Amino acid sequence: MLSCCDSLTSQDGVEAKMTTAVVPGSPLPSQGDGNVYYILTDDFAYGSKLFPSGSMCFLKERLYLRSIACGTTSTRCMRVTMLDDHSIATVEAEILQPVNEEEAVFLLAINNLNERLNCFLDRCSLEVAVKATVGQQVIVDLSQHLFTGTIRYIGKISKSPLSSPLCPSYFGVELQGDGEGKGHSDGTYNGSEYFKCKQNCGLFLPLNKIQFIPALGSDPVREEPKPDVDEVVPVKAGDTIGFYLDDIFRQGIAMDVYKEGTQWFVKVCPEEEGPTDVFRDIPMDSVVKEGLLSPVFEPDMAPGSQRQLKRERSGSGEELESEKQSLDVNSMVQITLGKGNPVSGIIRWLGYLPSIEPKMAGVELDEEKGVTDGEWLGTRYFRCPPKRGLFVKLQSCQPDIRFQCVSSGLLDPSTCSRMDSPKVLANFPPLRNGTAVRVLQGRMRGIQGHCNSCYMDAALFSLFSCTSVLDSMLFKPSLPPDGHVQKILRDEIVNPLRRNGFVHANSVMQLRQQLTEKGQCSSFATSEKDPEEFLNLIMHHILGIEPLLKLQSGGQKEQECYCYQIFIDKQEGLVVPNVQQLVEHSFLSSNLKLVEIPSCFIIQMPRFGKEYKMFSKIIPSLELDITDLLLDSPRECFVCGDVATEECSECFKDKMFAVTGMKQYCKSCCRQAHSHYQRKAHRPTKLHVPEEFQSRSHMDSPRIPRERMELFAVLCIETSHYVSFVKYGPEKENWLFFDSMADRHGDENGFNIPIVTLCPEVAKYLQLPVAALAMEQPRDMEGVAKRLFCDAYMYMYQSKKMALYK
């Protein structure tokens, strides 16, 4: 008779095998008649059906709790119901990650399974979505164009099917500013009204199409009750007022109302100041509200003269307009306040405010020199910390010279070499998809190179711009002497890169100087280095990060390292190899196995310096299958799919077999393959078969899951100069090319201009047959594709699933 831990039967007669595998930190479900939800972190085949990674499923809560009470750990599978098609399947427990219900409803709304899994693994957007509230400002991604909007509804927009326990939750968003008219509804969906807005200004979106404001990494500002200024003073922020200044009557907009001691003051932006907002602090008893202004105060002039005055007040508007066209939400800007004091910040909102004619910008300042937290006359347009927000005329905003010095002829480029990147203390997530393009693409983007720093620039951009797999380097507790290095890396390099898209050379130089002090080498701040030398020093000797790779050779003691160098003899059959082939040949020739699945796998190609390359071209493997490279892991017979018991290194080199994949067999296939006269001399080696797989046949299900890692970056070298390619999205065309010294301004006293460009042409060559790619002349390849295929030095792969535990 089975115990309650071996097999459980629900009231509807469905048998369910249980597991006690619980991810540390994941919330246990509360007791009741609900469900426990999971997401698949890997593809899984059950019978003839394939369930892709990102699929979601559930289990009755009472069955889950009974299995926990039993405390068994021997069962590896769970019998679950899939949410997408309501089929029942037995799934490997190790590829299931628990999801609480409030997160599951948002994930279920994402139809693209790859995007769904990425949202779950990255966590940031999912956690913010759960905390989102109606009225919160957001940025909406519509066909790679970004528009501001406000959340007006959160919840389901259709009835749950009787067969499904869960209904997807969407965000109802009202588009604002330039996004007006680009929606699809007025807040109504399928005849039901969920909120009200103008026609074609409403959208219902899943969380992956929304960026929440404030930016990720910052805690939403708690709304504090504000005093009702109307009951105390006759003027409030936003009012048009008249006042005397230097015995001349002027008009302007009240930006803030505040009290010093017993005296009330109004911070005013005068209309006559032209393209620069100079704020004036005027006593309350010296101002009068627009509605109380007497006609005698209005200048006596004809309509034509009024239009002329308006043009004069706005300055040379046509000349300024072209400059402002480049400013958009998230542009870095500078604003001149009273007494000529400049402040810098980021545009968080663009549009028109009630009763104010010019187009306005809502700016989050770098310092507490603002007057708001993103609210204007009771309506929230964006969110930022108190006293960091400011509403100004768009024409008052100038592109920040620290980040746009080369692109604008109106600015003095020489100032760029003297500017430092501001520290960013809030933590920001990696940039993905359209956000990566918007923030990173362009001149003076990425990490600015200086004095042989390209090895470090390329490595840092690759590791941190679009992935979080090694973010543990930023947050792992460090000893006091090494904490400074970590702070520089996090607050002056990674966070500014993810927030602003630019890191000044001075920030990298500070890191290089610290490495020189703490390393064995005295030339990190001046000399050329290799990326692996930098990575080994900072990961191992300074930050003490656990080694990324654990290897074992022929039963000997485990070896640990951070990067893996491929060593192989020249292979006649490998003319244009891919990374998968090179890794397999290298592991086989050295008799190596991975002791565990790495979260990050950094692989150096078989080349030495700038002179010697073993292969003229190498094809990037977008996925690296490491299933057969794992020590003591169950493996499939590559002939029949049964559990493999033997491996043959000689068969691996046999041209009769496939060019990739280790050659392992079940007992019967091994006997049959080696009955051929050319293979009788082969000496297969025994494989360790886990106990639970020893009695399994290829007719059993489920199949052994494949362990795959995804490519996220490639470092390349040509004539001693390092550049990098970074994968910023799921499509084959989603590649960025980064060069920290792509251009230069000035001579000896000048500075380098880093540039990040899109390189979708890479996809064309990835799809070519190997023979056609071999015939391609490097000089004829489009764009920068030649650099990726011909100059690859280091490939970087990640396992997002394992990164959860690292």
Residues with catalytic roles: 454, 721
Hey, how many other C-beta atoms are within 10 angstroms of the C-beta on 767? Answer: 10
665 close to 648: Cβ distance less than 8 angstroms:
yes
For residues 21 and 93, give the distance between their C-alpha atoms in angstroms, rounded to a whole number: 7
- The residues, any chain, with a CB within 8 Å of residue 563's CB and separated by 6 or more, are 532, 535, 536, 548, 549, 602, 603, 604, 794
3-class secondary structure, 605 = coil
241 close to 268: Cβ distance less than 8 angstroms:
yes
Residue found under tokens 């545009």:
347
> What is the bridge-based pairing of β-strands 502-503 and 446-447?
parallel
Crossing angle for the helix pair 454-464 and 505-518, to the nearest 10 degrees: 100
457 close to 534: Cβ distance less than 8 angstroms:
no
151 close to 139: Cβ distance less than 8 angstroms:
no
For residues 634 and 645, give the distance between their C-alpha atoms in angstroms, rounded to a whole number: 9
788 close to 725: Cβ distance less than 8 angstroms:
yes
471 close to 764: Cβ distance less than 8 angstroms:
no
Residue 268 structure tokens: 């005013």
Residue 465 structure tokens: 């711009």
363 close to 376: Cβ distance less than 8 angstroms:
no
Residue 533 structure tokens: 């030398």
Sequential DSSP letters for 201-238: -EEEE-GGGEEESSPTTSPPPPPPP---GGGT-S--TT
Instruction: Name 550's bridge partners.
Output: 560
Dihedral pair phi/psi, residue 269, rounded to 5°:
-105, 100
For residues 563 and 794, give the distance between their C-alpha atoms in angstroms, rounded to a whole number: 9
> Which among 238, 242, 296, 311 has a CA at the least distance from the CA of 270?
242
Residue 773 structure tokens: 């790619």
211 close to 231: Cβ distance less than 8 angstroms:
no
For residues 751 and 761, give the distance between their C-alpha atoms in angstroms, rounded to a whole number: 30
803 close to 469: Cβ distance less than 8 angstroms:
yes
For residues 301 and 295, give the distance between their C-alpha atoms in angstroms, rounded to a whole number: 13
With residue 617 as reference, give the H or E element that holds it. none
For residues 650 and 663, give the distance between their C-alpha atoms in angstroms, rounded to a whole number: 9
For residues 649 and 549, give the distance between their C-alpha atoms in angstroms, rounded to a whole number: 23
55 close to 99: Cβ distance less than 8 angstroms:
no
> Which among 228, 234, 275, 235 has a CA at the least distance from the CA of 255?
235
For residues 51 and 96, give the distance between their C-alpha atoms in angstroms, rounded to a whole number: 12
For residues 17 and 15, give the distance between their C-alpha atoms in angstroms, rounded to a whole number: 7
470 close to 600: Cβ distance less than 8 angstroms:
yes
For residues 634 and 209, give the distance between their C-alpha atoms in angstroms, rounded to a whole number: 39
